[in-house]
Amino acid sequence: MQKIHFVGIKGSGISALAQVYARMGCEVTGSDTDAVFFTDELLRQAGITQVTGPSEQNVQDADIVCHSPAYGDDHIEIKKAKELGIEVLTYPQLLGRLMDGRAESAITVSGTHGKTTTTSMIANMLLFSKLDPLAIIGSKNYNIGSNGRYGFGHMVAEACEYRRSFHNYAPKIAIINNIDFDHPDYFSGIDDVFEAFQTFVDKVPADGALITWGDQALCRQLVSKGKVHYFGLNHTNDIYATDVNEERGTLSFLAWERGQLLGAVKVRAIGEHNVLNVLAAITLSRILEIPFAAVQESFAEFGGVYRRFDYLGRIGGLEVYDDYAHHPSEIEATLKAVKRSFPHDHLLTVFQPHTISRTMAFLDEFADALMLSDEVMLVKVYQSARETGDRAEELTNLLAEKIAERGKTVHLVNTLEEGTEWILKQRASQAGLVLTMGAGDIRGIGEQLISVHA
């Protein structure tokens, strides 16, 4: 039995990979912080119980040590493994190796935005179609009950562009939702981002396929050896939608294929961005020849994804939601969707900027996007462990000033506890929506609010 030790095993992607290898029969161990993450329970469900703090002893008898790209050669376990001659792979490298073994059925989902939701929708669609998928998802799929699933059918996995991680993958079918500038600590600009995506697309074989957003000029510029399939809202795409309707957290629309009506689709989600995510999955379903009735059923029964407009509960007249949006484009898309879906509800957005580098690069864009909310609470920037220095408070204050200059009411707090206390005192007796938003630990405010009123 092969033993694999995962460094940083609680991460959203690497934990899914660890679960898959455990269910393949490997002995899986891991190390990480003592902090509790949503992945702790998912790892236990997969039988992975040997998770400790970092130690040289953890790798002594491992066959492979796999680590998150966030850790370097100076990590105690990685350093020891290399001294012992143990094979050391990053998470993208090990995922790429797994994908190589599924070369004829590997599907990847990439793009600056929407990877996790689209991957989750596809995994659900394959499951409802009895195609027994292997899935690597960046968050918990509520239908599957986890972020990782082992199966003998098609493999579907997220393919992240950060640090060009997706260059480790060679899928048969590549889905690219969109191309936007993000990760300013790594990419120099949009041209650098596009080059990374084009290099990835070059890995798609001639008998494979590229599925991408036909309404975006950058996606239209991608060149593939495989056949290209476009989805979007314009009727010039291969797959498109009309008659889009949103109402209190539910989307419905008509799906078309080259002028032919496929049928009506209804899904628990909000926003035009999720219409596009669904269309990407439908485009894949046409390639895989999945009956449209099964596709419709999978979306009707789609339970959503952890931290993607996730309903947490109610405090009196306040409904509390949580969302992972952390880029200005994502925030704008989500807030527009919320206001369309809940047009008469007062919206308090509780935003925690994520990383110093992203906040610095997009200060004005963040302020502009947050203007779509009726009211804004800012929590101090969540600083990445990779970042040095301490500009979190300064940048949070600067963002608050920019929002106030634009005429929007903004409340500034330093901690989750302060934010929770303010909402309980000032807004709990009112009706409306509270939306926690960001890629850090901001969900904690929503969870604290609900626990107080449980």
Per-residue pLDDT reduced to its tens digit, 338-386: 999 999 999 999 999 999 999 999 999 999 999 999 999 999 999 877 7
SS3 6: strand
Residue 95 belongs to a domain = no
Per-residue pLDDT reduced to its tens digit, 401-428: 999 999 999 999 999 999 999 999 998 8
Q: What percent of the chain has pLDDT over 70?
A: 99
Res. 454 pLDDT band, cuts 50 70 90: low
- Tell me the two tokens of residue 120: 């989750």
Q: Which phi and psi (to 5°) does residue 263 adopt?
A: 150, 180
- Tell me the two tokens of residue 344: 């008469």
Per-residue pLDDT reduced to its tens digit, 158-206: 999 999 999 999 999 999 999 999 999 999 999 999 999 999 999 999 9
Residue 243: Cβ within 10 Å count = 9
Per-residue pLDDT reduced to its tens digit, 380-398: 999 877 777 788 899 999 9
- Number of domains into which the chain is organized: 3
CATH assignment of the domain containing 86: 3.40.50.720
CATH assignment of the domain containing 148: 3.40.1190.10
Residue 373: Cβ within 10 Å count = 26
Residue 153 belongs to a domain = yes
The answer on 216 and 118 residing in a single domain is yes
pLDDT at 429: 85
pLDDT at 452: 82
How high is the mean pLDDT of the chain? 96
pLDDT at 255: 98
Cα angle 139, 143, 145 (rounded to 5 degrees) comes to: 60
Residue 96 belongs to a domain = no
DSSP result, 74-97: TSHHHHHHHHTT-EEEEHHHHHHH
Per-residue pLDDT reduced to its tens digit, 129-145: 999 999 999 999 999 99
pLDDT at 1: 83
Residue 108 belongs to a domain = yes
| Residue-range definition of the domain harbouring residue 54 | 3-90
The answer on 130 and 19 residing in a single domain is no
Per-residue pLDDT reduced to its tens digit, 211-239: 999 999 999 999 999 999 999 999 999 99
Last residue of a domain, one of 243, 273, 300: 300
Q: Which phi and psi (to 5°) does residue 122 adopt?
A: -65, -45
Last residue of a domain, one of 57, 90, 123: 90
**pLDDT higher than threshold 90 for residue 3:** yes
Are the C-beta atoms of 31 and 58 separated by less than 8 Å? yes
Last residue of a domain, one of 275, 300, 325: 300
Res. 248 pLDDT band, cuts 50 70 90: confident
